[in-house]
Amino acid sequence: MSDRLQKDVGRTSPTCPLCRCAPETAHHLLVDGRYTKRIWNLTAEWTAQPTLRLQEWQSSNSVAQWWSNTTMTPHIDPHKAMASIIVVLIITWKIWKERNSRIFKHHETSATALMSTIKQEARAWVAAGAKDLAGLVLQE
C-alpha cells in the first residue's frame, strides 16, 4: 500500500486537510498529525488503556509499523487487546471520514466534536454486545 494519498480524483493539494501544515501521508493522517494527536490524547483520557496512549507508542514510519506496534501487544489481556483494536478501528475510520468530509463537503468538525462521535460509536458497539469494549472505555 502506498503511503501517499494524493491520487484522489480532483485533488490538487497534497497538504493534510486536517492541519494544513504538513504533506498528507497515511501515517501523518492516522498517527502523528496535530489534529490526530489531539484525538489520541483525548482517547488516552477516555480509555485508561496504556496501549492507546500516544506517549507509550514506539516511533513508527508507516501505518503498518504503527498498527503492529499498537495492536499486536503480546503482554496484554486478549479481551483488552480486542477492545483496543475496536477503538483503533473506530478512531481511524472517523479520522478518515473527517478527512473526506473536509475535502469533498468542505465541512469541518473540531477534534473535541469528533471525539464525541467516536464515543457515541463506541457506545453503539457496547449496546450491540461488544462487552470487552465496555470494560475498556470510561463511562460518561
Picking from 19, 37, 18, the residue whose alpha carbon sits closest to that of residue 96 is: 18
The answer to whether 33 contacts Zn ion (rule: CB under 5 A) is yes
Task: List the helix and strand counts (H, then E) for the chain.
Answer: 6, 0
End-to-end CA distance of the chain: 38
Ranges within 58-97 binding Zn ion (CB under 5 A): none
Q: Which is nearer to Zn ion, 39 or 137 (CB)?
A: 39
The answer to whether 103 contacts Zn ion (rule: CB under 5 A) is no
Question: At closest approach, how far in Å is the CB of 106 from Zn ion?
Answer: 17
The answer to whether 5 contacts Zn ion (rule: CB under 5 A) is no
Residue corresponding to grid cell 478512531: 91
Write out the residues near Zn ion by the rule CB under 5 A.
16, 18-19, 22, 33
